[in-house]
Chains A and B, each alone.
Chain A
Amino acid sequence: GIQVEQSPPDLILQEGANSTLRCNFSDSVNNLQWFHQNPWGQLINLFYIPSGTKQNGRLSATTVATERYSLLYISSSQTTDSGVYFCAVDLLEGAQKLVFGQGTRLTINP
């Protein structure tokens, strides 16, 4: 089945730093989403980005579908950005199930 790999697994930064999280996937996909899991477990939608570039405030994402990777950028990190970030993909053939990476745990220290 499709493989989704996220890197790095852990990232520790000081407040104000910038970060780049990467998601590699092994097959063509129709849907790619980035989530932030809050401390209570809820997945917060960040981006729906099967291709191209999007920006939302301090966050932006780029997906290069032909090269099978996506990047999530967080600028001027705040302590509230801490948590686990997941990338999830849906196969191009449309099984309509998201396959999740193992996540990147981001810790922002004050």
Chain B
Amino acid sequence: EAGVTQSPTHLIKTRGQQATLRCSPISGHTSVYWYQQALGLGLQFLLWYDEGEERNRGNFPPRFSGRQFPNYSSELNVNALELEDSALYLCASSLGLNFYNEQFFGPGTRLTVL
């Protein structure tokens, strides 16, 4: 069974540009989560999508946004990139709403903002 996949592996952007990160969940999972791991700040929750809806959001500015597609894959968009957005972005999936279940993580996208 395939795990959570993310693309691209690495992404290099300049300040002010937009970045788009992609995630495909484990087959059968409807919930997708996004987390940021920035140097010195630890792992922080960004967004949770289930059945195409944003269900919860972490303490991040509105320029961090995303969506979930009918096939449950998800995109994370970061607009007006700032240097401090450089981080490892991890996507996770689980069985979804009303299931208090394990989250499984993908390999991550490492975003570098120059």
Q: What is the interface of chain A, defined by CB distance below 8 A to chain B? A: 30-31, 33, 35, 40-43, 45, 48, 50, 86, 88, 90, 94-100, 102-103
Contact = CB atoms under 8 A, between A and B. Distances in A.
A42 B45 contact: no
A72 B65 CA distance: 35
Contact-residue size bin, chain B (C-beta under 8 Å from the other chain): 20 to 34
Contacts of B88: 41
B102 A35 contact: no
B42 A100 contact: yes
22 contacts: A31-B101, A33-B102, A41-B37, A41-B88, A41-B107, A41-B110, A42-B90, A42-B108, A43-B105, A48-B101, A86-B43, A88-B43, A95-B56, A96-B56, A97-B33, A97-B45, A98-B35, A98-B45, A99-B45, A100-B42, A100-B44, A103-B42
B55 A96 contact: yes
Nearest to A44: B105
